[in-house]
């Protein structure tokens, strides 16, 4: 039973931690926090960068609102957030990223479930900001996220990203800091700590009305695939260390593995004359299978287009899954089957 189960332990102060790395868009994020119906008691501009851009913006806002404070916290995302968590004064800690803008009722909705002392964290969706969902990659990803929140995060709260979430400080103090050993570039640390909080006896709650707009203006297909590869490498380590995942399963990845494998085998068999026919047949089967897979994804996407605009580009799920598998494979090569081999040859695994 978590310590927060004491009915008298109701949260009071709320700290919002804005994670930022050399991103001037943080100015709009801070402006949106100034307009909240439930004003934060403290805002920490958690700067992991090396330039003065963020400091200048934060100090300008601080002059008007002293509850907005600049915090220099160098390091990767979990390292920087751990610094902010250590100095935050709130009973609840909410997290935003610098490319997100919150509507006025965001914080009020996000913290409401904490009246239940068993709630350890909450999270809401991150739809694309109007005017920024322009590229094919951004349109597909926006549709993917909308469906993800409705069908996955709603029932599997450990899948909620930390950017647009709130956490009971007592729960974080109990389970320890964010794990900085998952991946050198940092990924899936939010999933890992959510799993620890849930296993400590707390609950996670998806709050659909606590949405924030996410700026997708810089998201192209190559950037999307790179992002997916990074997430998958960290996700692999979380899976091997904690046995938890929310997307991968044999049935879901089977066609994305088997069809390319058949294509490679077919291409190899084409080279010797005595196996050329078999190679051509396998290659044709693989190409036909990939074509049918892309067609099926496109048809299902068009069916969902009215509900999830951008779903018509669902054939991009094929390279997205390949990027996921590639990232997981890199995770295996770097961290081993246990997920605890350190990149420098030692053992890793403690936050």
56 & 113 share domain = yes
pLDDT over threshold 70, residue 271: yes
Q: What is residue 261's three-state secondary structure? A: helix
The pLDDT value recorded for residue 38 is 96
In angstroms, rounded to a whole number, what is the distance separating the alpha carbons of residues 132 and 138?
Answer: 8
CATH number of the domain at 15, please: 3.90.550.10
Strands 68-72 vs 42-47: parallel, antiparallel or unpaired: parallel
Residue 81 in any domain: the answer is yes
Could you tell me if 58 and 169 lie in one domain? yes
- Calculate mean pLDDT across residues 213-230: 95
Do residues 202 and 61 both lie within one domain?
Answer: yes
Strand partners, 1: none
Q: Clarify whether residues 31 and 170 are in a common domain.
A: yes
pLDDT, residue 182, reads 86
Helices 26-34, 53-64: axis angle to 10 degrees equals 20
- List, as one string, the DSSP characters of 115-140: GSTTEEEEE---PBPTTT--SHHHHH
Split at pLDDT 50, 70, 90, the class of 216 is very high
Query: 283 and 205 in one domain?
Result: no
Q: What is the mean pLDDT of residues 328-332?
A: 93
pLDDT of residue 4: 45
From residue 340, alpha-carbon distances to 91, 334, 343 in Å are: 33, 9, 9
Give the structural domain span for 272.
250-335
Lowest mean pLDDT among 66-80, 102-116, 120-134, 233-247: 233-247
pLDDT at site 348: 61
According to DSSP, the residues that pair with 14 across neighbouring strands are: 92
Residues 174-184, mean pLDDT to the nearest whole number: 90
Domain-located, residue 183: yes
The answer on 311 and 186 residing in a single domain is no
Q: What is the pLDDT of residue 8?
A: 43
Indicate the range of 1-15, 118-132, 136-150, 233-247 predicted with least confidence: 1-15
Looking at the fold, whether 189 and 310 belong to one and the same domain comes out as no
Looking at the domain assignment, is residue 143 inside a domain? no
Q: Is residue 263 part of a domain?
A: yes
Helices (H), 113-220: 136-148, 169-175, 189-199
> How far is 177 from 86, CA to CA, in rounded Å?
9
Q: What is the pTM of this model?
A: 0.91
Residues 175 and 307 in one domain: no
The whole-angstrom separation of Cα 217 and Cα 221 is 12
């Amino acid at each position: 039973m978590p310590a927060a189960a004491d009915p008298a332990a109701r949260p009071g102060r709320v700290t919002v931690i804005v994670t930022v790395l050399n991103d001037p868009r943080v100015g709009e994020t801070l402006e949106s926090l100034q307009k909240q119906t439930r004003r934060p008691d403290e805002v920490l501009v958690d700067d992991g960068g090396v330039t003065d851009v963020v400091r200048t913006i934060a100090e300008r806002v601080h002059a008007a609102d002293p509850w907005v404070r600049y915090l220099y916290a160098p390091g990767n995302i979990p390292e920087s957030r751990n610094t902010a968590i250590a100095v935050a004064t709130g009973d609840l800690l909410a997290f935003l990223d610098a490319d997100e803008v919150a509507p006025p009722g965001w914080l009020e909705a996000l913290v409401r479930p904490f009246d239940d002392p068993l709630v350890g964290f909450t999270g809401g969706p991150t739809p694309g900001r109007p005017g920024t969902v322009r590229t094919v990659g951004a349109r597909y990803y926006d549709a993917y996220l909308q469906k993800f929140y409705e069908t996955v995060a709603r029932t599997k709260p450990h899948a909620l990203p930390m950017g647009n979430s709130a956490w009971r400080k007592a729960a974080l103090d109990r389970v320890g800091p964010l794990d900085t050993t998952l991946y050198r570039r940092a990924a899936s640390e939010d999933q890992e700590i959510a799993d620890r909080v849930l296993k400590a006896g707390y609950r996670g709650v998806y709050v659909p009305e606590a949405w924030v707009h996410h700026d997708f203006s810089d998201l192209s297909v190559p950037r999307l695939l790179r992002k997916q590869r990074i997430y998958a490498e960290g996700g692999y380590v979380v899976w091997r260390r904690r046995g938890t995942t929310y997307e991968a399963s044999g049935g879901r990845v089977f066609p994305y593995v088997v069809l390319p494998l058949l294509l490679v085998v077919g291409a190899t068999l084409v080279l010797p004359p005595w196996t050329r026919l078999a190679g051509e047949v396998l290659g044709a089967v693989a190409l036909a299978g990939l074509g049918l897979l892309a067609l099926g994804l496109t048809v299902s996407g068009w069916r969902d287009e009215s509900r999830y605009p951008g779903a018509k580009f669902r054939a991009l799920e094929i390279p997205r899954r390949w990027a996921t598998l590639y990232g997981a494979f890199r995770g295996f090569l770097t961290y081993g089957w246990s997920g605890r081999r350190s990149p420098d040859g030692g053992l890793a695994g403690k936050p």
